[in-house]
Structure 1
Amino acid sequence: MAMNTPDEGKWTEAIEKQTSKVPSGVYLSAAMLVMATSLAFKCFGKKHTALFIGQWAAPLLIMGVYNKIVKTEGHD
């Protein structure tokens, strides 16, 4: 039994159309850069800054997954 899904709003469709143009490797590269930067701050004794910057990796990777889904599945 298929469920009816409401149409995505115009705003969401516009965002997905633009973000699908970004290569998936950009998000992975950004996440790796953030992790390396976090490690550098940790090595220089800036513990709190390292933790703050290190937390950016997960959202970047999630955005990369979302980007990949939009590219493969398309938008409504």
Structure 2
Amino acid sequence: MSLDVNPASEASKHDYEAPPVVRAEHAEGSFTRLIEQQTAKIPSHVFLFASLCSMGTSLCLELMGRTQPARFVGSWVSPLLVMGVYNKLVKLLGSR
């Protein structure tokens, strides 16, 4: 006789589907759909390469003693990576 520690463990074996967008205020606008279609054409590695270039440029500026520009360019890394993740999600899931 084995005791199951988690009584809800069987519930995790079911596959769940994402609910459809039913309410109008959750629907995407045509402008958003247009932007997603255009940015989906950009390869995902472009955003990774741009963020790596931003890191390298920031390092070079820091070593040259230009602290403020180095921090400004270094702050681009996170938004570029987030744009790359968003781009990848749009490509995989499409606009809903």
- The TM tier, using the shorter chain, reads over 0.9
Partner residue of 1:39 out of 59, 62, 70: 59
Partner of 1:59: 79
1:40 CA displacement = 0.1
Q: Does 1:12 align with 2:32?
A: yes
In 1: Cα distance, 2:27 partner to 2:70 partner: 41
TM-score (structure 2 length as normaliser): 0.74
TM-score (structure 1 length as normaliser): 0.93
In 2: Cα distance, 1:32 partner to 1:21 partner: 21
Name whichever structure is richer in helix by fraction.
Answer: 1
SS in 2 for 1:22: coil
Residues paired across the two proteins, number:
75
1:7 CA displacement = 1.7
In 2: Cα distance, 1:4 partner to 1:33 partner: 42
* Moved >2 Å (runs of 4+): 2-6
Letter in 1 for 2:84: G
The structure with more radius of gyration: 2
Listed as ranges, the gaps of 5+ residues in structure 2 are 1-18
Listed as ranges, the gaps of 5+ residues in structure 1 are none
Q: Aligned Cα RMSD in Å? A: 1.2
